Amino acid sequence: MTRRRRQSQPPVDENAAFSRMSAAGLILLGLIIGLVGALYYAWVVSPIVYTEVGPSRMSDKYKQEYIYLVSQSYAANGDWVQTENRLEALEDPALNETVAALLEAYLREQQDPLVIQNLARLAQGLGVEDKAVALFAPTPAGPMPTDTPTPAASLAETAVPTITVTPSLTPEPSTTPTSSPEPSPTARPNYRLLMQEPYCEKGEAISLLVVETQDALLNQLPGVEVLVTWEGGEDHFFTGFKPALGAGYGDFKMEPGVSYTIQLADGSPEISGLRIEPCADGADGGWWLTFQNLRLRLTATPEP
């Protein structure tokens, strides 16, 4: 029987191991303290403050918000010179394409119609020509056709007959004839109700209040604001949001038991008593109203 010889192991120097661990811990602690100190200096002691930063240095998201705010301001004050100066601050060489892309994005997101209309007018001012601009920022209609006005100079030169009043014992007060001021021509179009009929689909419940707007020549007319009111509430919508159903098409979902009144914001008869009614097959039905613009767009003829 042989005995194995136990090999002796060198003694462990505990002090050396502790020294190595302490050095690593101190290095790590120093790095943490240095990082915290640097962040404190950068954020509190001497933070970076950007001054005189123009809109051109903003991110795309904030540039879009900037364009939105410019369109809202232009809709409020109509100052195109100020609007151009603000847009030039973006230093965007493709500004027209940027505004047109933002308008299309708003349409896909179904933003508020007024927001879309204001942005479309801004795009129109920049010369953007596309379907969205033509739909929501149409060229304003001209004034109602009137008789040819008499120039002011001719009125001044026209002799006014002098009325001689013979005095009597009881003089009557003389009344100076005054001309009634004629209403100034307005640029807002007027509409008439061309058709009102129930809206039914066989075997299908319909609860839509459909408004279709047409011009004087019975062409589809988009971008017309429709006001809807009912007891305790009101809303509005624009025609043209569903071009697949027609450029002048717009609809509103009615609730059972509620009576609605509609009117075009540009001036039209007020149609009331609109509610969900049963159709011939017993299914719920809505209403389809067609309005015609009575204003003819006048085209100036060149003088010979």
29 found inside a domain: no
CA–CA distance, 52 with 58 (Å, rounded to integer): 12
Residue where one domain finishes, among candidates 91, 121, 136: 136
85 found inside a domain: yes
User: Which pLDDT does position 17 carry in this prediction?
Assistant: 60
For residue range 287-300, list pLDDT tens digits in order: 999 999 887 443 34
The mean per-residue pLDDT over the stretch 226-250 comes to 92
For residue range 32-61, list pLDDT tens digits in order: 888 888 888 888 877 776 666 688 888 888
131 and 221 part of one domain: no
Residue 157: pLDDT band by 50, 70, 90 thresholds?
A: very low
DSSP 130: S
- Quote the strand ranges of the chain, DSSP E: 191-199, 208-214, 225-230, 233-238, 249-253, 260-264, 271-274, 277-278, 284-293
Closest CA to 291 of 228, 215, 208: 215
CA–CA distance, 29 with 225 (Å, rounded to integer): 68
CA–CA distance, 58 with 63 (Å, rounded to integer): 6
Which residue type sits at 180? S
88 found inside a domain: yes
CA–CA distance, 223 with 247 (Å, rounded to integer): 9
For residue range 64-110, list pLDDT tens digits in order: 999 999 999 998 999 999 999 999 999 899 999 999 999 888 887 76
User: Which pLDDT does position 9 carry in this prediction?
Assistant: 57
- State the sign of the Cα–Cα–Cα–Cα dihedral 32, 34, 39, 41: positive
Between 217 and 184, the higher pLDDT residue: 217
131 and 211 part of one domain: no
200 and 124 part of one domain: no
Three-state SS annotation for 231-284 = CCEEEEEECCCCHHHCCCEEEEECCCCCCEEEEECCCCCCEEEECCEECCCCCE
163 found inside a domain: no
197 and 286 part of one domain: yes
CA–CA distance, 34 with 131 (Å, rounded to integer): 59
User: Which pLDDT does position 151 carry in this prediction?
Assistant: 46
287 found inside a domain: yes
Domain of 206 in residue numbering reads as 191-293
Residue 204, beta-bridge partner list: 201
CA–CA distance, 304 with 301 (Å, rounded to integer): 9
CA 129 vs. chain centroid, Å, equals 17
Cβ–Cβ < 8 Å for 214, 291: yes
128 and 217 part of one domain: no
The mean per-residue pLDDT over the stretch 167-187 comes to 48
203 and 123 part of one domain: no
196 found inside a domain: yes
9 found inside a domain: no
72 found inside a domain: yes
Q: Are strands 208-214 and 284-293 parallel, antiparallel or unpaired?
A: parallel
Q: What's the pTM?
A: 0.46
Structural domains in the chain (count) = 2
Q: What are phi and psi of 253, to 5 degrees?
A: -85, 125
DSSP 1: -
Query: Residue 225, SS3?
Result: strand
288 and 195 part of one domain: yes
Query: Residue 90, SS3?
Result: coil
Residue 183: pLDDT over 50 = no
